[in-house]
Structures are given as C-alpha cells and as structure tokens.
Amino acid sequence: MKISQTSGVPIYQQIAESFKLDILEGRLKMGEYLPSVRALAKDLKISVITTLKAYEQLENEGLITAIQGKGYCVNAQDANMLMEQHMRKVEEGLMQAIASARIAGLSSEELIDTLKTLLTLEEN
C-alpha cells in the first residue's frame, strides 16, 4: 500500500480507498481479515487513530465488519452493489474528463471522438 504525505488527500482516506479498491476488484475476498489496526499503523508509520478512522469508513460503507477480538473482516459483496460502485467510479472519471475538456476548449464531439479513439486503442 502506497501512502502519500503530500497528495492533499487525508491519509485515512488513502488507506480506505486502497482497501476499497482491493475489495471491489476481488484481491480481498469475503471472510479475509485486514491487517490489525496496530500492525497497519506500524507498517505505514502512522497513528493508530488514522488507521482506525480508515477502517471505520470502510465499515460505514458496508465493506468490512469489526469482529470482537479478531479484527476487521471483509463482508460478502453483492454483485449489484459492486457494479454500482464501479459505475460510480466511471461517472466520476468521466465528469473529470468533461471538466478538463471544457477547460481545454474541446467540443462535445471532439471529446466523444477522443473517448472512442482511446477505447479502440485499449481494445487492441
């Protein structure tokens, strides 16, 4: 896990996003335990409170559950929820692309053509 002290994104959020991506992409599976709060804090050389805040964010999103005396465990993921999470990421990325295109002065047609070109390149 890579954490940047200078990214402008709070460390707890970087941790939560990293685990969230691992869960949504299937690298962390249902029933697997995340590293203990203390172990992760030690590995990343950060506060236990920061690590706990990241885990609480994931728990609030329904991705993990705290199990007394054992730590945090990955929850079963609903296929519809996973699709919705991925769709949200696509929409966020496209909204950023639209904003950048507007700043660059691209028309809607030019932006669509650029997307089509990139899709064609990615398929090959």
The dihedrals phi and psi of 26, each to the nearest 5 degrees, come to: 85, 5
Same domain, 33 and 65: yes
- A 10 A CB-CB count for 1 gives 11
User: Tens digits of per-residue pLDDT, 10-56?
Assistant: 999 999 999 998 988 889 999 999 999 999 999 999 999 999 999 99
Same domain, 63 and 83: no
CATH number at residue 39: 1.10.10.10
Same domain, 16 and 49: yes
Which token pair is 37? Answer: 């709060």
In the chain, the number of structural domains is 2
> For position 123, what pLDDT does the model report?
85
> For position 77, what pLDDT does the model report?
74
Same domain, 16 and 70: yes
> For position 96, what pLDDT does the model report?
95
Domain membership of residue 88 (yes or no) is yes
> For position 25, what pLDDT does the model report?
82
